[in-house]
C-alpha cells in the first residue's frame, strides 16, 4: 500500500511492484509503499465529477489483493465493457472499510520508475488515462475521502474530506446507496 501525503495526512492508496523472481506467483503482484504529493483543489463537498455516476446494468465481480483480502464489486454496464467500477473491501468484522468508485476511461498504462517498461522488483506507476476519469475513494477506517478527476489531457482536480460527511453526497454519486446496491446484488465475500 502506498500513501498519498495531504497536509499532514497520509492517504492509503494501492501501489504495485512487479513480482519478477520473488516468491509470489507471477499472477500476484507485490504491494509496496511510497509517498506521493497531490495538489488539492478544494473541499470534497464542492467537488464536481467530470464523469457522472450511473447504475444501469451492472455485473458482479470479485478480486483478491495481496495483504488486503477479497473485494466485491460491480462493473457497469458489464465487466467486458466497463465504464464504471465500484469496489467494496470488507474488514474482519464484515463491515465495509474501503469504497472505490472509478468512472470513465478505466485504462491506465503502468510504467517503471524511469517511464519505460516495468522491471521485476522495481516500483511502478500508473500514468493518467488517455480519456477523462473520475474516482472517489473512501477509506472508512482512516476516515479519509479522496475525489479526483484525471486524464484526458486536462489538469488533475483533487478534493479531500471525511467519508462520514460525504456518504450520501449526490455530487459523489451517493456512496451509501451504492454500497447498499453492491451488497444487495453481489453479496459479501
Per-residue model confidence as pLDDT tens for the chain (189 residues): 333 433 333 343 333 333 333 333 333 444 444 445 566 777 898 999 999 998 889 999 999 888 777 899 999 998 888 899 999 999 888 899 999 999 999 998 899 988 899 999 889 988 889 999 999 999 999 999 999 999 999 999 999 999 988 999 999 999 999 999 999 999 998
Tell me how many degrees the CA angle 106-156-178 measures, rounded to the nearest 5. 50
Which value, to the nearest 10 degrees, does the dihedral of the CA atoms of residues 86, 110, 63, 22 take? -160
User: What pTM was computed for the model?
Assistant: 0.76
Q: Which of 63, 60, 65, 90 is nearest to 76 (CA)?
A: 60
Tell me if 104 sits within 8 A of 83, measured CB to CB: yes
Per the listing, cell 498519498 goes with 4
Tell me if 111 sits within 8 A of 118, measured CB to CB: yes
On the CB side of 74, how many CA atoms lie within 13 Å of its CA?
Answer: 19
Considering all CA atoms of the chain, what is the largest pairwise distance in Å, rounded to the nearest integer? Answer: 46
Q: How far apart are CA 109 and CA 33, in angstroms?
A: 20
How many Cβ atoms sit within 10 Å of the Cβ of residue 161? 22
Q: Which of 22, 14, 26 is nearest to 69 (CA)?
A: 14
Amino acid at each position: 500500500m502506498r500513501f498519498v501525503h495531504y497536509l499532514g495526512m497520509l492517504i492509503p492508496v494501492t501501489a504495485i511492484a512487479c513480482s519478477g523472481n520473488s516468491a509470489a506467483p507471477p499472477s500476484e503482484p507485490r504491494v509496496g509503499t511510497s509517498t506521493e504529493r497531490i495538489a488539492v483543489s478544494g473541499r470534497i463537498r464542492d467537488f464536481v465529477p467530470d464523469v457522472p455516476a450511473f447504475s444501469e446494468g451492472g455485473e458482479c465481480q470479485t478480486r483478491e489483493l495481496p495483504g488486503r483480502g477479497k473485494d466485491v464489486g460491480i462493473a457497469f454496464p458489464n465487466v467486458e465493457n466497463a465504464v464504471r467500477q465500484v469496489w467494496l473491501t470488507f474488514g474482519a468484522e464484515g463491515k465495509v472499510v474501503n469504497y472505490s468508485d472509478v468512472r470513465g476511461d478505466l485504462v491506465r498504462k503502468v510504467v517503471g520508475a524511469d517511464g519505460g517498461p516495468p522491471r521485476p522488483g522495481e516500483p511502478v506507476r500508473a500514468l493518467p488515462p488517455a480519456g477523462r476519469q473520475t474516482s472517489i475513494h473512501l477509506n472508512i477506517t482512516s476516515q479519509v475521502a479522496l475525489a479526483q478527476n484525471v486524464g484526458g489531457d486536462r489538469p488533475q482536480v483533487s478534493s479531500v474530506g471525511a467519508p462520514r460527511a460525504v456518504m450520501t453526497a449526490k455530487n459523489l454519486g451517493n456512496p451509501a446507496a451504492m454500497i447498499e446496491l453492491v451488497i444487495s446484488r453481489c453479496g459479501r465475500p
